Amino acid sequence: MLSHTEENYLKALLKLSFESKSEEAGTNELAANLAVKPATATDMLKKLKEKGLVDYEKYGKISLTAVGKTSAIDIVRKHRLWETFLYSTLEFTWDEVHEVAEQLEHIQSAKLIDKLDKFLNYPQFDPHGDPIPNQKGEIKTQFKKTLAEIAAGKACRMVAVKDNSKSFLQYVVKVGLGLHHDIKVLTRQEYDALMEIKVNGIKSSITQKFAENIYVVCSNCAAGKPCTETIDCKQ
Amino acid sequence: MLSHTEENYLKALLKLSFESKSEEAGTNELAANLAVKPATATDMLKKLKEKGLVDYEKYGKISLTAVGKTSAIDIVRKHRLWETFLYSTLEFTWDEVHEVAEQLEHIQSAKLIDKLDKFLNYPQFDPHGDPIPNQKGEIKTQFKKTLAEIAAGKACRMVAVKDNSKSFLQYVVKVGLGLHHDIKVLTRQEYDALMEIKVNGIKSSITQKFAENIYVVCSNCAAGKPCTETIDCKQ
DNA sequence: AAAATTTGTTAGACTAGTCTAACTTTAATA
DNA sequence: TATTAAAGTTAGACTAGTCTAACAAATTTT
Ligand SMILES: [Mn+2]
Ligand SMILES: [Mn+2]
Ligand SMILES: [Mn+2]
Ligand SMILES: [Mn+2]
């Protein structure tokens, strides 16, 4: 049985493993992610190593063991299913769900999660477009680009967000954007990459920083036609 | 902000206050209820007193302050709404809900509970027949008797259970009983109060201990007719 | 009323999780 | 390569919550 705190460390390590191609993390990075001091993280890493959940040697890089990864994915599954429940069933907005799901993800009951999954009709993605791991712990990886990579004149469809912060999510709505919205890139400035886009007939100017936090697939893939990009967006 | 543990102490004190007419509790009693040692309860009582949640003097009786009671009722509200959700929406059985609700009741989000309440269509009673406090903290008290008090030859309807343990709840189902079932008391032995009852045409023998844990209202009240008992069952 | 029992408190210790301050190792850079 | 900077660890301390063992107060019984 894992404590609340241990679960949060595993989840943070999983997140960091997705963010680095080596699938490894550092102590400071981990500590920053959990809003604790590095000394605290070191202590916990010793415990998690002892429990066989992480691979870790003093002064070395950190990675999850198979067992640790399975636990971490299970927590992510719970988090995203709860977010989906809050959004779809209880009509929370997409910027409200994360905070509550952070608590709900620690509820221990396999039956609860399976029943919830069934009730929600086995959703594939959460309200932020992130994939929901299935019962086996498999995660559907969707190939996607950021809006910042889309050339002027091209069209695409928004499928997820990178930044999950309340302020960003509210800003996205304010600009008239949202998941599954079609976006036309009108112009892009050479100097600072400021883009002009059109969504539902409305034009907006967005910065590069903003565009880098919006995930899209190319217009053809979104429409179910053969992909015209080098990667298959929907693979 | 109350900790998980503090909330459990308040909830236990509320429960004990309902069980004694003086609405007071003792340290040992409290400790037993929470499965901790009396020394532990004493320590916590000092803290709760400090926070203004309980009235307590060394070697004296314990009671909740108005603030403490409000918090405790809020936790009970959450517990019972979650039990209702698990039972009605996710199809848990009535002996499975309590354990999970013990965890869910600590989730901090007023919005979540209000939305859940609305989603469930403002239920009045949980799967065990216990009243769900409303948003204002008001609890509907239903006048009811135990099955053990019903005379031979009389009919009644089951409205709640006293014992919430898994084993009792499963036993109730096995006997063919359940909430809202009509019960006819056929016989009662003078010697040991063993009762014979009929439910849905099926006869069963039940002990006094069992009967004391089943709450009923008299047949007339159940049918919406004037009450024939000294108290108004449905008051 | 005295003795015995029950009830409740205190003192001291332990674990989980956190911190600060000092220190060590590794990596980067001059 | 020697120095500096960054990353990571250790030591010691703190809080919340728990325990045991010894003690004190209140209640019940004789
Ligand atoms: Mn989230
Ligand atoms: Mn999400
Ligand atoms: Mn319950
Ligand atoms: Mn209940």
For the stretch B10-38, pLDDT in tens is 999 999 999 999 999 999 999 999 999 99
Does residue B180 contact residue B161 with C-beta atoms inside 8 Å? Answer: no
Which nucleotide C1' is nearest B59 CA? C8
CATH number given to B4-64: 1.10.10.10
Q: How confident is the model at residue B143 (pLDDT cuts 50, 70, 90)?
A: confident
Residue B208 backbone phi and psi in degrees, to 5: -65, -45
A112 touches chain B (CB under 8 A): yes
Chain B residues within 8 A of A119 when measuring between CB atoms: 89-90
Q: Which chain A residues have a beta carbon less than 8 Å from that of B95?
A: none
Mean pLDDT of B150-159: 94
Which ligand has the shortest distance to the CA of B96?
3
Is the pLDDT assigned to residue B123 strictly greater than 70? yes
| Whether the Cβ atoms of residue B30 and residue B42 lie closer than 8 Å to each other | no
What whole-number distance in Å separates Cα of residue B84 and Cα of residue B126?
5
Smallest Cα distance from A109 to chain B, Å: 7
Q: Is the dihedral of CA B36, B37, B43, B46 positive or negative?
A: positive
3-state secondary structure of B202: strand
Which has the closest alpha carbon to A18: A83, A63, A77? A63
User: So what CATH class is A145-222?
Assistant: mainly beta
Q: B16 CA to C8 C1', in Å?
A: 17
Q: How many CB atoms lie within 10 A of CB B111?
A: 12
pLDDT digits (tens, 9 = 90+) for A46-58: 999 999 999 999 9
Residue of chain B whose alpha carbon sits nearest to that of A109: B100
- Confidence at residue A143, expressed as pLDDT on a 0 to 100 scale: 84
B210 band by pLDDT with thresholds 50, 70 and 90: very high
**B186, B152 in Cβ contact below 8 A?**
yes
Distance CA B164, CA A33 (A): 42
pLDDT at res. A220: 79
What residues pair up with B184 in beta bridges, in sequence order?
Answer: B155, B198
Question: How much is the average pLDDT of B52-73?
Answer: 97
Would you list the domain boundaries of chain A? 4-64, 145-222
Q: Is there contact between A59 and strand C, defined as CB under 7 Å from any strand atom?
A: yes
B233 pLDDT more than 70: no
Percent of chain B with pLDDT over 70: 97
Are the beta carbons of B10 and B72 closer than 8 angstroms?
Answer: yes
C-alpha separations of A76 from A104, A137, B156 in Å: 11, 10, 49
Contact B112 A90 (CB under 8 A): yes
- When the pLDDT of each residue in chain A is averaged and rounded to a whole number, the result is 94
Residue A185 clears pLDDT 90, i.e. is over it: yes
Neighbours of ion ligand 2 (CB under 5 A): A 83, 126, 128, 130
Whether the predicted pLDDT of A43 surpasses 70 = yes
Residue among B100, B108, B116 minimizing CB distance to A112: B100
Cα distance between residue B48 and residue B53, in whole Å: 5
Please indicate whether, in this complex, the C-beta atoms of B119 and A90 are within 8 angstroms of each other. yes
What pLDDT, on a 0 to 100 scale, did the predictor assign at position A221?
A: 78
Cα B120 to ligand 2 centroid, rounded to whole Å: 25
Interface test with B, best of A1, A86, A98 (most B CBs within 10 A): A86
Q: What is the pLDDT of residues A116-146, one digit of tens each?
A: 999 999 999 999 999 999 999 999 988 889 9
Tell me whether residues A109 and B89 touch, CB distance under 8 A: no
> How far does the centroid of ligand 1 lie from the alpha carbon of residue A86, in Å?
11
